[in-house]
Amino acid sequence: MVNALRPASSAARFGLLAAAIVGCLSPSGLSAAGPEVERGRYLSVIGGCNDCHTAGYLQNEGKVPEKDWLMGDILGWRGPWGTTYAPNLRLYMSNIGEDDWVALSKEMTPRPPMPWFNLRRMTDPDLRALYKFIRALGPVGKPAPDYLPPDKAPPPPFVQFP
């Protein structure tokens, strides 16, 4: 009986090793998740999601490891609306269903500087791909700071709009 299990154990070990090698060959190990996840990765880059939702992304010319993407930022965006912070999308997406995300994306009007009007122009398949990519990254990190009304001064760092 023990000998009958050894080939399966060897095959299982080989399978795990092969999966690990393939994961190391892709940028994040997520490309094996399918074309929708790849499309979501692409959309997060060209759509500018990382510009605000990934700490240090703009300052480092996009050279932030993918494992650190979309976890929000402590950089405040202050203007007549108050001070907003880019939320941790990885935590956010872990608490919302895909259909709810698509519907919300077509309706929401968050405070500046979020370009919600661009999000509304995305197709349903693109919104679903973005959702799947963010979900594939996993729910890690901390929530971003809470919104501050216009009469509350934010702690640094923050960007001041006229």
Burial of 71 (0-12, 13-18, 19+ CB in 10 A): buried
Containing H/E element for 79?
A: strand 76-79
Place of tokens 């939702």: 53
pLDDT digits (tens, 9 = 90+) for 62-73: 999 999 999 999
Single-letter amino acid code for the residue at 147: Y
Give mean pLDDT, residues 125-142: 98
pLDDT digits (tens, 9 = 90+) for 79-101: 999 999 999 999 999 999 999 99
CB 54 within 8 A of CB 64: yes
Nearest in space to 98 (alpha carbons), one of 131, 74, 63, 75 = 131
pTM for this predicted structure: 0.80
CB 74 within 8 A of CB 158: no
SS3 content of the chain, % helix, strand, coil (to 5): 50, 10, 40
Query: At residue 157, does pLDDT exceed 80?
Result: yes
Domain ranges within the chain, ordered by starting residue: 1-32, 34-160
* Confidence class for position 30, pLDDT limits 50, 70, 90: low
What DSSP state is assigned to residue 72? B
CB 29 within 8 A of CB 23: yes
Neighbouring residues of 151: CB distance < 8 A, sequence distance ≥ 6: none
pLDDT of residue 66: 98
